[in-house]
A and B are shown apart, each in its own frame.
Chain A
Amino acid sequence: QVHLVQSGAEVKKPGSSVKVSCKASGGTFRNYAINWVRQAPGQGLEWMGGFIPPFGPTNYAQKFQGRVTITADESTTTGFMELSSLRSEDTAVYYCASQPLVLVTDLGVGAFDIWGQGTMVTVSS
């Protein structure tokens, strides 16, 4: 079963960028999509986008289009989420979540199964 370990907490200035990593182990990297979900303090879960290996496609929530880039490095079995033009409202815990490919179904993917431990990103001047 896949195990996901994320990079550590970040403190960023408004207007800067942050790149969070998600290292996968224990499974076959190509068999999973990697999704990113964030949770602002005291708020619910918000899907940002996801990458289907090994060459995409990458799907993004409209809200983050143009500001977020989701990629993956198969050689290191690591997924990445980079968010630019940071503002205070981006202060949140960012999670990666794996989503198995289920090619026999119409969707081609299943539900999220494994989650990373989360990465706190604080945006403050």
Chain B
Amino acid sequence: DIQMTQSPSSLSASVGDRVTITCRASQGINNNLAWFQQKPGKAPKSLIYAASSLQSGVPSKFSGSGSGTDFTLTISSLQPEDFATYYCQQYNSYPYTFGQGTKLEIK
């Protein structure tokens, strides 16, 4: 199975900050990587597919990059509604696997 490792596991930031979350795959997954946002008690929301493409309706403050094994999610100009847990997921091969999550908290 492909292991997905996110860093950091948690992150404190202030409103207006720019943050970056990293996701590393244990083997190459081309660009078949997605990012999701999850708020407490809610279903995940899809943000990014194919490593860098925004899902419909997702604001451009979210951006993704990377290919192969190393990927990043960047969120610019943090707003209160952006504080949540973020997950990466590879869909390059079965079984699909998720990172352990990064909890973004208000400083």
Contact = CB atoms under 8 A, between A and B. Distances in A.
Interface residues of B, number: 25
A10 B57 CA distance: 33
B100 interface: yes
Contact of A110 (B49, B87, B94, B98): B49
B96 A47 contact: yes
Interface string A19-61: 0000000000000000101000000111100100000000111
Contacts of B32: 107, 111
Contacts, number: 63
A99 interface: yes
A125 interface: no
Nearest to A47: B96
Most-contacted residue by chain A among B38, B45, B95, B96 (CB, 10 A):
B96
A115 B95 contact: no
A113 B98 contact: no
B94 A112 contact: no
B43 A115 contact: yes
B71 to A, nearest CB: 13
A97 B99 CA distance: 17
B46 A44 contact: no
A79 interface: no
A35 B98 CA distance: 14
Contacts of B94: 59
A12 to B, nearest CB: 21
B55 A113 contact: yes
Nearest to B53: A111
Contacts of B50: 110-111
Given A107-B32, A113-B55, A47 B49 contact: no
Contacts of B12: none
8 contacts: A45-B36, A47-B89, A60-B95, A62-B95, A112-B46, A112-B89, A113-B55, A115-B43
